[in-house]
Amino acid sequence: MSRLLAVLLGLFALLGASPATAAPVDTGHLEAELVAQERGAVPGGTVYVALRQKIDKGWHTYWRNPGDSGEPTSIRWTLPTGWQAGDIVWATPSRMPIGPLLNYGYAGEVLLPVPIQVPVSAKVGSTATLKADVTFLVCELTCVPEAATLTLTVPVVADAPGADPLWGEAVAAALAAAPRPSGLAAVYAIDGGIVRLAVTGAPLKDADLSRAYFFPFDATVLDHAKPQPVERGAEGLTLSLPAGVAFSAGQSPAALAGVLSLGGRAFEISATAGLLPPGARGGGVLPPAPLDDHDPAAKPGSAIGLPLALLFAFVGGLILNLMPCVFPVLSMKAAALAGHAHDPRAARLQGVAYLLGVLATFLALAGALVALKAAGQAVGWGFQLQSPVMVAGLALVMLLVALNLSGVFEAGTSLQGAGAASAARGGLRGSFLTGVLAVVVAAPCTAPFMASAMGYALTRDAWLSLPVFAALGLGLASPFVLLSFAPALLTRLPRPGPWMETLRHVLAFPMYGAVAWLVWVLAQQTGSAGLALALAAGVLAAFAAWLWGHAQRRPPAPVARSLAALLAVAVIALTGLLALERSAPESAAAQASGETAQVPYEPWSPERVAALRAEGRPVFVNFTAAWCVTCQVNERTSLSTRTVAEALARNNAVYLKADWTRRDAVIAAALTEHGRAGVPLYLVYGADGSEPVVLPQLLTEGMVAEALDKAAAR
């Protein structure tokens, strides 16, 4: 009996000397728990406790430097008196491309060990409960902030304990594989916009360098999305790294620290500025390291294939004709068709010329956008109106067109002579340019069906994306092309006569309206100083146009023509000064006291979204821009209303606004994550932490209020 009792006591002692883990916590898109390397903790010693993440397929969390977007996992410890937690031992991350961005993180299962220092005063035979409040940002195409409170009970033992039978080997392997200080010598030098990072040392002499890649600890030192060509040397390697904002304006960090990964092995390095050693170069340039097999960024828009993307693009282009931003240009086209109503051949040529202008401009903008994204620029559809100089230039073009329609000066021939051969030639050029202008001003608008097609196009190779943009152009141009080929409809218009000149003058006013809109957009981008420059340029341009018209009516007038040319040069100079204008518009918080005083909002940021969701509050996010007419119409008619204000108040919800009027890489990344290439985008996050609901691009106040009520109930 005594022998049996001794055996049982021994078994109980053995079981007691092993950490007691709580059940894994499912946060929504991953399972999390604390696991220990050893069976117990010795007073005065160190025990490694690892945060285990088992992440759902297709989702990922982030490294200490998340890259272009994201947030690292964080742990807040609550420990017994005298116990102290060290820093996370981060595993080597994977590279995770998301559209034009590159992030660093983990997929599948990952263990992140943390050293826990045990005080000498810890009493042998007692147990210590370790508590960790952990926050994660878990992303697929959407990002969801999640949290868990995890506990682990660790017995305090007198002698060195053995490995934990369940997790000891796995934690030991994670520690062994983690990047460690290696003793490698590292030096960097700036060569234009490239940081040459030379690393030498014995571990690299015979190593396979084909997968070499540098993960910086600081997110600002490199342009993450660009490749890192490797040059092999006799004693190491040299990486050519695209410099980040930390190297701007002649500034350089004191040290360039991070992880040098060779695929199977990884080393912590810290490089100082200096001369590159000859042993790090001279062995030939290797191709950039291939991306890791894991690519969580399933292409936005992948839910549709090319045929459906082409259909959506064509339908979106059709609907684009109904958008307010296109109305002024359509008035120009209406005037041109009216002039050719009784000349079927000329009308058809006008339609074809307009179609070619639309297609050429759509493809040119698409090509520029694809090229910018390939170069790592975070831009989206409508990017050209994120440039104040482009907005100012377009406003001046619209002003000159309006003055021409008002009869201040003549460009080409008048509408009454449109049937003549010379007028037809000038009319074809005009129709082509009308197509160009239609696309430039239509690009900021996003019509229904268009968003999915753009999301598909901007995440594919050029040979797949360009046909989608062409289909969008066909949709935009098709109504006028069909009308130009329908003589039965055109012949119902009266014969050309004085009424056409009156029509021409009337149609100038939509163009003046477009000028006013563009000037307002410019004011949002540059503030009062840039606005003053643009207005001065507009006055000079109008005076130059009047002088030119005066010279046309009283030929010859070389003085007037010369003065008009000088004024045109002055206009160009003033517009160019906008490139140097850096005055910022009022903050969103200040603007909130204006037209949206009924519905106060806060500036959007991923961190603010995560904080509000952690509080369990519903969140409404409005991705908008001043140059997006659809966005502005929605804000006036559906968001700045008492109904929406009351819905926000009764549901304890918060309204966040992501303003993309000026280029913002973080907003561009968020749009890409949701499969969008432009604004508007409206998201409603529920109080339960579930995935956000995407609202339609054309809103009603009732729709928004209902979505907020449902979000609070989830």
Looking at residue 106, its pLDDT comes to 95
Looking at residue 379, its pLDDT comes to 47
Tell me what percent of the residues of the chain surpass a pLDDT of 70.
67
Looking at residue 336, its pLDDT comes to 58
The secondary structure of residue 698, as a DSSP letter, is S
Looking at residue 148, its pLDDT comes to 92
Mean pLDDT over each residue of the chain, to the nearest integer: 75
Coil, helix or strand for 104?
strand
At 152, give phi and psi (nearest 5°).
-145, 125
Looking at residue 425, its pLDDT comes to 38
Report how far apart the first and last C-alpha atoms of the chain are (Å, whole number): 60
**Residue bearing the bigger pLDDT, 122 or 661:** 122
Looking at residue 279, its pLDDT comes to 65
Looking at residue 107, its pLDDT comes to 93
Residue range 510-517: mean pLDDT, rounded: 74
- pLDDT confidence bin for 591, thresholds 50/70/90: very low
Asked if residue 639 has pLDDT above 60, the reply is yes
Looking at residue 423, its pLDDT comes to 32
Looking at residue 5, its pLDDT comes to 42
Residue range 548-553: mean pLDDT, rounded: 72
- pLDDT confidence bin for 127, thresholds 50/70/90: very high
Distance (Å, whole) CA 300 – CA 373:
15
Cα torsion through 482, 483, 485, 487, rounded to 10: 150
Asked if residue 286 has pLDDT above 70, the reply is no
Looking at residue 582, its pLDDT comes to 42
Asked if residue 294 has pLDDT above 80, the reply is no
Q: Is 58 left (phi over 0), alpha (psi -120 to 50) or beta?
A: left
Residue range 370-379: mean pLDDT, rounded: 52
Minimum mean pLDDT range among 17-26, 587-596, 632-641: 587-596
Looking at residue 340, its pLDDT comes to 56
Residue range 97-126: mean pLDDT, rounded: 89
**Residue bearing the bigger pLDDT, 383 or 684:** 684
Tell me what percent of the residues of the chain surpass a pLDDT of 90.
22
Minimum mean pLDDT range among 17-31, 112-126, 451-465, 613-627: 451-465
- pLDDT confidence bin for 91, thresholds 50/70/90: very high
Looking at residue 152, its pLDDT comes to 94
- pLDDT confidence bin for 669, thresholds 50/70/90: confident
Distance (Å, whole) CA 272 – CA 269:
10
Contact 680, 380 (CB under 8 A): no
- pLDDT confidence bin for 52, thresholds 50/70/90: very high
Asked if residue 450 has pLDDT above 60, the reply is no
Asked if residue 681 has pLDDT above 70, the reply is yes
Looking at residue 422, its pLDDT comes to 30
How many CB atoms are located within 10 Å of the residue 407 CB?
Answer: 13
How would you write 242-282 as a 3-class SS string? EECHHHHHHCCCCCEEEEEECCCCEEEEEEEECCCCHHHCE
- pLDDT confidence bin for 596, thresholds 50/70/90: very low
- pLDDT confidence bin for 44, thresholds 50/70/90: very high
Q: Which domains does the chain have, with CATH numbers?
A: 2-177 (2.60.40.1250), 181-286 (2.60.40), 306-580 (no CATH), 588-713 (3.40.30.10)
- pLDDT confidence bin for 664, thresholds 50/70/90: confident
Looking at residue 520, its pLDDT comes to 74
Distance (Å, whole) CA 328 – CA 340:
20
Q: Which of 16-25, 90-99, 128-137, 282-291 has maximum average pLDDT?
A: 128-137
Asked if residue 645 has pLDDT above 80, the reply is yes
Residue range 262-286: mean pLDDT, rounded: 78
Minimum mean pLDDT range among 451-465, 493-507, 573-587, 698-712: 573-587
Minimum mean pLDDT range among 19-23, 39-43, 338-342: 338-342
Distance (Å, whole) CA 59 – CA 27:
13
Distance (Å, whole) CA 682 – CA 585:
23
- pLDDT confidence bin for 614, thresholds 50/70/90: confident
Minimum mean pLDDT range among 53-67, 142-156, 285-299, 678-692: 285-299
- Dump pLDDT digits (tens) for 646-655: 889 899 999 9
Residue range 362-372: mean pLDDT, rounded: 70
Residue range 373-402: mean pLDDT, rounded: 61
- pLDDT confidence bin for 205, thresholds 50/70/90: confident
Residue range 697-712: mean pLDDT, rounded: 85
- Dump pLDDT digits (tens) for 312-356: 778 877 776 665 555 555 555 555 555 555 566 777 787 788 888
- Encoded tokens for 187: 């030096």
Strand partners for 237? 199, 232
